[in-house]
Amino acid sequence: MSEKFATGDGYKVRDLELASRGRMKIDWAESRMPVLMRLRDEHARRQSLKGMRIAGCLHVTKETAVLVETLKAAGAEISWSGCNPLSTQDEVAAALAAAGVSIYAWHGMSVDEFYWCIDRTLDFRPMLTLDDGADLIFSVHNRHPELVAGIIGGTEETTTGVHRLRAMATAGALKYPVIAVNDAETKWDFDNVFGTGQSSIDGIMRATSVLLAGKNFVVAGFGHCGSGCALRAAGLGARVICTEIKPTAALKAVLYGYQVRTMDEAARIGDVFITATGCKDVLTRRHFEVMKDGAIVCNTGHYDCEINLTDLAALATGKREIRANCEEYTLADGRRIYVLAQGRLVNLAAAEGHPSEVMDMSFANQFLSMVRLAAEGKTLPIGVHDIPERQDQEIARIKLATLDAGLDELTPEQEAYINDYAAGT
């Protein structure tokens, strides 16, 4: 592909010609994100983010574009980069650039280009940071410490990023307050389970078009994301095998009816492998050495460290891209192992990420957290803060109102009863 780009004052994207296609994708997402669009109407009137400069580092998808344009509508000045070298949808980036958003993102960038883009979003000295995986926050702390004094606070979208920030806070290294959007019930229990479950299968199907029914489908990690992948694979008739290091998670997988094996055992029988652990070296040399011919491996964890591609390359005598997002590694004994999306997030690199309907709630939490930081961030102590319970319930309430669902209310007597500790047997 020609390395031509569209660059201008405040953006670098693959090709501005793609903007009209990207705008239609954004229109499609808007029609399925009623919670965020309602917040856009309310806060555009209030201009809740007027005067705020927000640097964002989050997958450039049609859903993220709806978040970006909601932040802008509320009065914020935005500068944006993607949080994964393979997850940017070029037509969406083009549509945002054409709409005047400062954006530095394209599909297939190098790691150096990835950090160059993050640095560009810091040029306008942000007051708020919005992150997915904590690479932006970490860049500010480690490479641009002079910016910390001007930053009120930040947010973090994903499990791995929150884990990283909690470790920074424990080590006393965190220099401004951050809100853990990932840990909101209306994010974690929906985006991570239903979003990751559907979008990961979507990525596998787009990259391979294999039949999943009857296949041994190995899920490494039975957390929210892994359990969603197991649920959807089983729904398609796959025989799900889970691997875990945490006894309670493994026990949960057993009681949900899945086989639970060590990866050494599962590696011998698996047809499709997906890693969702947040850890590194989940699939390594000793697993590749015993895999069946034609085994498919992929990852849906945030970083590309779960599948050890260095080990696989050392065993391979040849490699070719046999399909888009599908590389065939041929081993010395002739066995072929297929790696999807170069071991990066298969749902975002080989498909479009989670459906708009779940990102609606995740991004409602992102948006309201930005509004909260703008209003009271200067009074928040340095550390990792949770979403208020009332915000979670309000987002769920608004979402429910858009669905065919009825919600009961407590009577005054019931309210009194549940708060009366004296009421016993």
Binding site for ligand 3DD (CB under 6 A): 59, 61, 63-64, 132, 157-159, 182, 191, 195, 199, 302, 348, 353-354, 359, 362
Nearer to ligand 3DD, 33 or 312 (CB): 33
What is the smallest separation between the CB atom of 196 and ligand 3DD, expressed in angstroms?
6
Using CB atoms, what's the residue nearest to ligand 3DD?
Answer: 353
Nearer to ligand 3DD, 82 or 153 (CB): 82
Closest to 376 measured CA to CA, from 165, 152, 157: 152
Nearer to ligand 3DD, 181 or 307 (CB): 181
H helices present in 236-355, as ranges: 247-255, 263-269, 285-288, 309-315, 346-349
Q: Which residue has the tokens 């904590």?
A: 134
What is the smallest separation between the CB atom of 159 and ligand 3DD, expressed in angstroms?
6
What is the smallest separation between the CB atom of 145 and ligand 3DD, expressed in angstroms?
26
- Rounded to whole angstroms, the Cα distance separating 363 from 180 reads 12
What is the smallest separation between the CB atom of 212 and ligand 3DD, expressed in angstroms?
20
What would the two tokens of residue 12 be?
Answer: 């670098």
First-to-last C-alpha distance (Å) of the chain: 73
What would the two tokens of residue 377 be?
Answer: 């961030």
Handedness of CA 313, 317, 320, 323 (dihedral sign): negative
Nearer to ligand 3DD, 81 or 362 (CB): 362
3-state SS assignment for residue 179: strand
H helices present in 133-262, as ranges: 135-143, 159-170, 185-187, 196-208, 224-235, 247-255
Nearer to ligand 3DD, 359 or 371 (CB): 359
Burial class of residue 198, CB neighbours in 10 A (0-12, 13-18, 19+): buried
Nearer to ligand 3DD, 72 or 215 (CB): 72
What is the smallest separation between the CB atom of 132 and ligand 3DD, expressed in angstroms?
5
What is the smallest separation between the CB atom of 376 and ligand 3DD, expressed in angstroms?
25
